[in-house]
Structure 1
Amino acid sequence: MTTLDRFDTSGLEVLSPADCLRLLESVTLGRLVYTVGALPVVRLVNFVVDADSVVFASADGEKLRAAERGDIVAFEADTVDLERQLGWTVTSVGHLSVVPADEAEQLAREIRLRSWAPLPSPRLIRLGIESVTGRRLLPWAQRPHD
């Protein structure tokens, strides 16, 4: 990737898939984007990255039904520092699935997943990352200039 290819037309740094996954692993709160009745829905979820997937917990409801159907969804996480005008955003796309109970029990012992909202009878849901893209706003001195 050349220096010019490293930035988009807005001057944001285009991140590699490896950088995107590393940044996703650095935060615990993201946004799941899916559809209900053909309309977009965005929900905050606490998550962990497990290899090439995002794992989060859900109670009964639309997220769980989307996972049971294997819906294609988007997932976004970011960090923004408004004072210093720095930040990044990563978006991944893939199919949802419900983690089988036996695997969920093992996975729950290995990961530290906490929900920001109380969940009665939570089930683990996996988003298999099929594509991941990201952008980062660098300090002014590191940005491309005309």
Structure 2
Amino acid sequence: MDSRNLPKIENLSFDDCWELLDNDTVGRLAIVVDEHPEIFPVNYAVHLRSIVFRTAPGSKLWGARMERPAALEIDGYDPASEQAWSVVVRGETEIIEDQGVKDAVDGLGLEPWQPGEKANYVRLNAKALTGRRFRVNKPDIWNTRLQDRRRASFE
């Protein structure tokens, strides 16, 4: 295919990335566990241009205590504009100990979705932030799977 006919990929600004992050609540957290990558869904809040989530003792908390690199990714699709987007935050994690900061984060509506005690607050400090948006290929009305989000543009 001729590169002139490829859909344009728009690199998002930092402000656009933070706006998309702020308007979402669930992402996929990638950390290293036992020397291999693991991915966990987490609900989060944006606080002071960083990502904060709550967790119970376990892999996510252990990864945060080890201060290893981590990443969080969100994505979405807008059927009205037929555009998809993706945002990735990379950085290092830290445990939040200050009760005032915890209270501020709770004030943002950060409430765990999964049952159980989630008393540990973890911050992912952004060292790199990237995002992109692009128009998706038009779906083939006869061959596109029923689960494909692009179907919403013609249903």
> TM-score range, shorter-chain basis?
0.7 to 0.9
Larger mean CA deviation between 97-106 and 111-120 belongs to 97-106
Name structure 1 gaps, 5 residues minimum. Answer: 1-8, 141-146
Task: Decide which of 14, 18, 24 is 1:17's aligned counterpart.
Answer: 14
- The code of the aligned residue for 1:15 comes to L
Query: What is the percent sequence identity of the aligned residues?
Result: 30
Name structure 2 gaps, 5 residues minimum. Answer: 1-5, 138-155
Task: Decide which of 64, 67, 90 is 2:64's aligned counterpart.
Answer: 67
Larger mean CA deviation between 83-92 and 25-34 belongs to 83-92
Cα RMSD of the aligned pairs, angstroms, is 2.2
Counterpart of 2:44?
Answer: 47
Separation in 2 of the partners of 1:59 and 1:72? 19
The structure number with the bigger radius of gyration is 2
- The code of the aligned residue for 2:26 comes to L
Aligned to 2:57, the other structure's residue is in SS state coil
User: TM-score by structure 1 length?
Assistant: 0.80
- Structure 1 moving runs of 4+ over 6 Å: none
Task: Decide which of 28, 33, 36 is 2:30's aligned counterpart.
Answer: 33
Counterpart of 1:95?
Answer: 92
**Count of residue correspondences:** 132
**Cα–Cα, structure 1 residues 105 and 21, in superposed 2: closer, same or farther, change >3 Å?**
closer
Separation in 2 of the partners of 1:139 and 1:10? 8
Separation in 2 of the partners of 1:10 and 1:98? 41
